[in-house]
């Protein structure tokens, strides 16, 4: 991450031309609403990411960057709307200039074009969360747990962790499918061998016994042990004619095959498919009856694919602009609903696979019968048997079609409901025909029978060996794939839980730091499937969602603390830069100093750019030493954009107006500036101002109480110093007090109420000389009040904030007046 | 701890991959070389294709039955 040195904004949003010099340090932007502060935030975001959240985020409607980022008068000239940022990259020890124009938001100029610098800038683009607005705080606090889960996971860059999980799940499922299929193929090979041997159960000893019986008939030596490379025909001549001379059929084996088929037909529904079929039928019926569930099932694949496509701010097919963030959130919500459906479909897929395997077994058996029918002389018509094969094959296709697209539920339901294992009369007749014709084939001699048997045994033994080997390989791979998946789940869950725990602890510490009255406060982040619950303590009465009982101000504080904790864990040492756009407006004034201290003490290496429309809040940032520099936006109009004030160069601006003989402008500047300073000082010094419900105080309401209070506190300082016998301090304060009296008198502020000719309302009618006298008097008074240390320059404030004031101080303690006597 | 090869990997992902690699290496059923290949693949920062996962875990010809 970077630290911003300068920002130059041209023809962008409400800004015509603006240059800010941040010097890589914390920076405050202050001004009334509508003066252009957020335009600066937008400019930073745009320059670093090419995007502006408020023009493209949720609720932006028809707004878009290209159309609405240029100044309203430059809508037709987006190339004139540009932002340039110079920055340092602490991790690299290098500087960079980043420039982007609204004409080509995706094209960024990075100078120097060093790959490491480019990577650092790209990282910023990937982390648009460096800018946090008050509106966005809500997404961490008052938000449904499922949405929070997404937002927090996005911030922590956990989407990749989730995608890897999906990959491992898919791979494990594929391996399981392969292993199951290999197992079924092996089972069919085993059944074929068992059928050829006429054995109810395949047994190695029995197999060897049967093989050796036949070898004995041929006068061949018995095989002592069954091996993978056992050759049952060892010792036979290669050109021995093994089967029926005309048909090439091994009669005995063929009869065994036919017998197995007729027995299977007679047995009815295969035992091994009964439960899977029952379960599959129930699941399919449930899906069929619940249109919404079916829609989710159908959409799951589409939504997942769609999510992958939402990468830019326009449709990749038609280029029509869309709100990528909003669309992604919408799709994720849908996908969430489809997740349960995904589990149901996975189970269903297993059950349908078992049914398909049984059907495939029947197909193989009927095919064999059809092949025998074809080989007989004369042939038995195989059409009826082929029709059975075709019909059963269609069943398998229907089940596969449903797996590919749940919309094909009707055909799948028909298959699962049908008693496919019963055979049609025509087909049964053909099987009987084939059987009869096989029986009618001339019997082989014992010698030929033996050769035929051993030949078929060799073929089927080979098939079983290959099937077994394949099944073993697939099973081993499946075992590894399942482990790889399980390990990933376990590890990633543990890491995420650790992160959530650490974030919650950090959040709790931060929140306690800004709310010293909440010592027992605790925050909890709890990850549950597809949601992230966030509960916080409420005065020891239990933990609840933040929106349940806590005030808006507390929620704002929590949002900031959670954001900071998350950013710290996401970026670690790279969290060098953040823009906090008006994020703490609801936080009690009493807690704002603590916020300043939190940012300053816990994030000393992070550059914060803070905006506020509250002048007092800006002043707190200064007095607490959070910011050294700030920019006050004193007004705005559409032609010139924001009018910026630096509270030290206001006098230069006033001088410039006077040089132009423009007293009314100089008067307006002074009045507005003094209103700003008076607000700050009234708060700092806890001045006794006549209360107004609408808080609409003018200069006349604030300034006299401020000067009175300043005078009074200095006098109190003198008394206290005398009480403690600190003569030198007493003398200095007396001197300062006398100086204050003189300077206050020169401003004529105390005469405003009784002498209308000196009232600030009349300043615009003064001569240049008269007005300069007034301006000089206020300038001198303010210089007298503010800290003389140029590195501080803050206005003093009273501590504590409530009760008897004990100390008048500035943040650097150059001003440090004891007011407490005992 | 393995070094991340791709800048795009977030600290969280790197943390997960580091811990994952350790667990894979500690599983006697999983070949160390396969674990290494999978780790390399994951640290490329992309979501791997199924074929790539397969190739990492089971190199071509690795006891595949014909």
A209 pLDDT above the threshold of 80:
yes
- Residue B1, in any domain of the structure: no
Q: Is A344 helix (H, G, I), strand (E, B) or coil?
A: helix
Chain B residues in contact with A499 (beta carbon < 8 A): 12, 15
Interatomic CA distance for residues A564 and A513, integer angstroms: 13
The predicted pLDDT at position A190 comes to 93
As for how many domains chain B has, the answer is 1
Higher pLDDT, residue A456 or A297: A456
Q: Cβ atoms within 10 A of the Cβ of A728, count?
A: 8
A163 to chain B nearest CA, in Å? 7
The predicted pLDDT at position A163 comes to 84
Model confidence over A462-487: pLDDT tens digits? 999 999 999 999 999 999 999 999 99
A230 pLDDT above the threshold of 80:
yes
Interface of B with A in 39-58 (CB under 8 A): 42, 45, 47-48, 50, 53-54, 57-58
A90 to chain B nearest CA, in Å? 16
- Residue B7, in any domain of the structure: no
Query: Strands across the sheet with A523-528, in order?
Result: A523-528, A531-537, A543-544
Quick one: closest CA in A to B31, which residue?
A: A480
pLDDT band for position A612 (cuts 50, 70, 90): confident
Alpha helices in A50-140 (DSSP H): 53-56, 65-68, 115-126, 134-137
The predicted pLDDT at position B9 comes to 75
- Range among A301-315, A514-528, A651-665, A729-743 rated most confident: A729-743
Quick one: closest CA in B to A159, which residue?
A: B13
Q: Is A797 helix (H, G, I), strand (E, B) or coil?
A: strand
Q: Do B12 and A484 make contact, defined as CB atoms within 8 angstroms?
A: no
Span A301-310, mean pLDDT?
66
Higher pLDDT, residue A138 or A455: A455
Span A36-49, mean pLDDT?
88
A516 pLDDT above the threshold of 70:
no
Q: Judge if the upstream peptide bond of residue A203 is cis by omega within 30 degrees of 0.
A: no
Q: Do A495 and B16 make contact, defined as CB atoms within 8 angstroms?
A: yes
Interatomic CA distance for residues A790 and A782, integer angstroms: 14
A246 pLDDT above the threshold of 60:
no
Give strand pairing partners of A322.
none
Rg for chain B (alpha carbons), in Å? 13
Span A335-356, mean pLDDT?
75
Q: Which of A224-228, A305-309, A747-751 has the lowest mean pLDDT?
A: A305-309
The predicted pLDDT at position B66 comes to 36
The predicted pLDDT at position A652 comes to 84
Q: Do A123 and B54 make contact, defined as CB atoms within 8 angstroms?
A: no
Chain A residues in contact with B12 (beta carbon < 8 A): 156-158, 161, 495-496, 499, 569-570
Residues 6 or more apart from A725 whose CB is under 8 A from it? Answer: none
Chain A residues in contact with B25 (beta carbon < 8 A): none
Higher pLDDT, residue A59 or A174: A174
A556 pLDDT above the threshold of 90:
no
Higher pLDDT, residue A654 or B60: A654
Interatomic CA distance for residues A53 and A131, integer angstroms: 9
Model confidence over A349-377: pLDDT tens digits? 889 988 998 999 999 999 999 999 998 98
A177 pLDDT above the threshold of 90:
no
Chain A residues in contact with B15 (beta carbon < 8 A): 495, 499
Q: Do the beta carbons of residue A9 and residue A83 sit within 8 Å?
A: yes
Model confidence over A259-293: pLDDT tens digits? 999 999 999 999 988 999 999 998 888 877 766 66
Q: Is the dihedral of CA A260, A262, A265, A267 positive or negative?
A: negative
Model confidence over A437-464: pLDDT tens digits? 999 888 777 888 888 889 889 999 999 9
Chain B residues in contact with A484 (beta carbon < 8 A): 24, 30, 38, 53, 57
Span A631-638, mean pLDDT?
75
B2 to chain A nearest CA, in Å? 16
Domain span holding position B48: 15-57
Q: For A106, phi and psi rounded to 5 degrees?
A: -85, -15
Interatomic CA distance for residues A382 and A704, integer angstroms: 113
pLDDT band for position A310 (cuts 50, 70, 90): low
Higher pLDDT, residue A303 or B14: B14
A174 to chain B nearest CA, in Å? 9
- Residue B23, in any domain of the structure: yes
Quick one: closest CA in A to B15, which residue?
A: A495
Where are the extended beta strands (E) located within A571-628?
Answer: 577-581, 607-612
Please return the burial class of A292, using the count of CB atoms within 10 Å of its CB with bins 0-12, 13-18 and 19+. Answer: exposed
**Option in A123, A157, A170 nearest B50 (CB):** A170
The predicted pLDDT at position B6 comes to 44
Q: Is the dihedral of CA A22, A26, A32, A33 positive or negative?
A: positive
- Range among A182-186, A249-253, A518-522, B2-6 rated most confident: A182-186
Pair of tokens at residue A402: 């449903």
Higher pLDDT, residue A458 or A591: A458
A96 pLDDT above the threshold of 90:
yes
The predicted pLDDT at position B5 comes to 40
Question: What one-character-per-residue DSSP string does A365-433 give?
Answer: HHHHHHHHHHHSSSPPP-HHHHHHHHHHHHHHHHHHHHHH-GGGHHHHHHHHHS-TTS--HHHHHHHHH
- Residue B5, in any domain of the structure: no
Span A33-59, mean pLDDT?
81
Interatomic CA distance for residues A818 and A796, integer angstroms: 13
pLDDT along chain B (66 residues), means of 10: 49 88 94 94 90 91 47
Interatomic CA distance for residues A543 and A522, integer angstroms: 8
Interatomic CA distance for residues A88 and A23, integer angstroms: 10
Chain A residues in contact with B4 (beta carbon < 8 A): none
Higher pLDDT, residue A805 or A532: A805
Pair of tokens at residue A35: 């003066």
Residues 6 or more apart from A243 whose CB is under 8 A from it? Answer: A249, A250, A251, A452, A455
A474 to chain B nearest CA, in Å? 8
- Residue B48, in any domain of the structure: yes
The predicted pLDDT at position A291 comes to 65
A739 pLDDT above the threshold of 50:
yes
- Residue B37, in any domain of the structure: yes
Question: Where is A798: in which H helix or E strand?
Answer: strand A797-799
- Residue B6, in any domain of the structure: no
Nearest to A536 by CA among A500, A514, A511: A511
Q: Cβ atoms within 10 A of the Cβ of A457, count?
A: 22
Q: Do B57 and A484 make contact, defined as CB atoms within 8 angstroms?
A: yes
Chain A residues in contact with B27 (beta carbon < 8 A): 483, 487
Percent of chain A beyond pLDDT 90?
36
- Residue B10, in any domain of the structure: no
Mean pLDDT computed over every residue of chain A: 84
Q: Cβ atoms within 10 A of the Cβ of A466, count?
A: 15
Quick one: closest CA in A to B64, which residue?
A: A473
The predicted pLDDT at position A58 comes to 56
Nearest to A631 by CA among A618, A611, A645: A645
Q: Does A174 touch chain B (CB under 8 A)?
A: yes
Please return the burial class of B15, using the count of CB atoms within 10 Å of its CB with bins 0-12, 13-18 and 19+. Answer: buried
Strands A3-12 and A82-89: antiparallel
Model confidence over A666-675: pLDDT tens digits? 998 898 888 8
Interatomic CA distance for residues A63 and A431, integer angstroms: 73
Q: What is the ipTM of this complex?
A: 0.91
Q: Does B13 touch chain A (CB under 8 A)?
A: yes
Q: Does B36 touch chain A (CB under 8 A)?
A: no
Q: Do B10 and A156 make contact, defined as CB atoms within 8 angstroms?
A: yes
Interatomic CA distance for residues A331 and A267, integer angstroms: 49
pLDDT band for position A311 (cuts 50, 70, 90): low
- In angstroms, what CA-CA distances link A685 with A164, A655, A679, A695, A798? 58, 29, 10, 17, 6
Torsion of CA A538, A544, A547, A552, to 10 degrees: 20
- In angstroms, what CA-CA distances link A488 with A481, A503, A725, A794, B46? 11, 22, 72, 54, 16
The predicted pLDDT at position A752 comes to 84
Question: Taking CB atoms and an 8 Å cut-off, how many pairs form between chains A and B?
Answer: 91
Quick one: closest CA in B to A122, which residue?
A: B8
Q: Do B29 and A161 make contact, defined as CB atoms within 8 angstroms?
A: no
Span A61-78, mean pLDDT?
82
């Amino acid at each position: 991450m970077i630290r911003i040195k300068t920002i130059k904004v041209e023809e962008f949003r409400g800004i015509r031309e603006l240059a800010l010099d941040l010097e890589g340090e914390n920076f405050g932007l202050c001004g009334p609403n509508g003066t252009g502060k957020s335009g600066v935030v937008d400019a930073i975001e745009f320059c670093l990411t090419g995007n502006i959240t408020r023009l493209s985020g949720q609720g932006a409607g028809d707004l878009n960057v290209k159309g609405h980022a240029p100044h309203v008068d430059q809508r037709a000239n987006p190339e004139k709307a540009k932002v340039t940022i110079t920055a340092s990259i602490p991790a690299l020890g290098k500087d960079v200039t980043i420039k982007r124009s609204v004409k080509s938001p995706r094209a960024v100029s990075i100078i120097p074009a060093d790959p490491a610098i480019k990577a650092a800038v790209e990282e910023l683009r990937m982390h648009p969360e460096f800018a946090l607005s008050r509106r966005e705080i809500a997404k961490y606090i008052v938000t449904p747990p499922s949405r929070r889960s997404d937002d927090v996971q996005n911030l922590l860059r956990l989407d990749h962790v989730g995608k890897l999980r999906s990959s491992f799940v898919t791979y494990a499922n594929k391996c399981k499918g392969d292993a199951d299929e290999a197992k079924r193929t092996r089972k069919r090979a085993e059944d074929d061998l068992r059928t050829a041997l006429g054995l109810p159960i395949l047994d190695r000893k029995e197999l060897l016994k049967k093989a050796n019986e036949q070898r004995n008939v041929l006068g061949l030596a018995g095989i002592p042990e069954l091996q993978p490379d056992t050759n049952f025909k060892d010792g036979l001549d290669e050109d021995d004619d093994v089967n029926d001379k005309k048909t090439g059929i091994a009669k005995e084996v063929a009869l065994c095959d036919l017998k197995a088929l007729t027995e299977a037909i007679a047995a009815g529904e295969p035992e091994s498919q009964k439960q899977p079929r029952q379960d599959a039928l129930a699941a399919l019926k449930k899906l069929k009856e619940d249109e919404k569930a079916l829609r989710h099932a159908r959409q799951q694949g589409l939504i997942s694919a769609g999510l992958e496509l939402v990468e830019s701010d326009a449709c990749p097919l038609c280029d029509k602009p869309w709100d990528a963030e909003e669309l992604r959130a919408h799709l994720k919500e849908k996908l969430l609903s489809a997740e349960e459906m995904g589990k149901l479909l996975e189970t269903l897929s297993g059950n349908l696979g078992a049914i398909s395997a049984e059907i495939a077994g029947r197909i193989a058996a009927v095919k064999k019968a059809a092949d025998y029918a074809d080989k007989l002389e004369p042939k038995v018509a195989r059409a009826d048997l082929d029709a059975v094969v075709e019909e059963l094959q269609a069943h398998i296709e229907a089940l596969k079609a449903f797996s590919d697209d749940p919309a094909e539920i009707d055909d799948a339901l028909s298959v699962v409901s049908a008693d496919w294992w019963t055979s049609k009369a025509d087909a049964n007749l053909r099987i009987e025909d084939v059987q009869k014709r096989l029986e009618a084939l001339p019997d082989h001699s014992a010698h030929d029978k033996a050769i035929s048997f051993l030949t078929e045994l060799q073929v089927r033994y080979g098939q079983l060996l290959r099937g077994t080997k394949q099944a073993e390989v697939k099973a081993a791979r499946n075992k590894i794939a399942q482990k790889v998946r399980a390990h990933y789940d376990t590890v990633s869950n543990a890491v995420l839980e650790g992160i959530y725990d650490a974030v919650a602890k950090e959040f709790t510490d931060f929140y306690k730091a800004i709310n010293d009255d909440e010592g027992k406060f605790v925050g909890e982040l709890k990850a549950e499937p597809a949601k992230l619950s966030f509960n916080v303590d409420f005065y020891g009465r239990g933990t609840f969602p933040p929106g349940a009982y806590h005030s808006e101000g507390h929620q704002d504080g929590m949002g900031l603390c959670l954001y900071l904790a998350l950013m710290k864990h996401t970026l670690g040492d790279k969290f060098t830069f953040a823009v906090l756009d008006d994020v703490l407006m609801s936080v009690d004034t009493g807690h704002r100093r603590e916020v300043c201290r939190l940012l300053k003490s816990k994030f000393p290496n992070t550059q914060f750019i803070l905006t506020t429309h509250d002048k007092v809040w800006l002043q707190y940032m200064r007095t607490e030493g959070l910011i050294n520099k700030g920019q006050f936006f004193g007004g705005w109009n559409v032609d010139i954009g924001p009018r910026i004030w630096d509270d030290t160069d206001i006098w230069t601006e006033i001088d410039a107006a006077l040089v132009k003989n423009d007293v009314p402008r100089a008067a307006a500047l002074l009045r507005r500036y003094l209103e700003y300073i008076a607000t700050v000082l009234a708060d700092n010094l806890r001045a006794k101002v006549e209360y107004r419900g609408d808080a609409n105080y003018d200069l006349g309401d604030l300034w006299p109480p401020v000067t009175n209070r300043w005078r009074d506190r200095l006098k109190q300082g003198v008394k206290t110093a005398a009480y403690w016998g600190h003569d030198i301090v007493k003398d200095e304060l007396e001197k300062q007090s006398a100086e204050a009296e003189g300077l206050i008198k020169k401003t004529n502020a105390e005469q405003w109420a009784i002498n209308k000719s000196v009232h600030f309302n009349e300043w615009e009618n003064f001569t240049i000389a008269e007005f300069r006298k007034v301006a000089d008097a206020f300038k001198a008074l303010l210089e007298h009040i503010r800290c003389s240390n140029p590195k501080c320059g803050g206005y003093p404030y009273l501590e504590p904030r409530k009760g008897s004031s004990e100390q008048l101080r500035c943040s650097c303690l150059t001003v440090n007046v004891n007011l407490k006597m005992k | 701890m393995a070094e991340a090869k791709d800048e795009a990997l977030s600290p969280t992902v790197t943390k997960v991959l580091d811990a994952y690699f350790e667990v894979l290496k500690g599983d006697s059923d999983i070949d160390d070389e396969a674990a290494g290949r999978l780790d390399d693949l994951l640290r490329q920062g992309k979501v791997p294709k199924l074929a790539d996962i397969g190739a990492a875990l089971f190199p071509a010809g690795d006891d595949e039955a014909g």
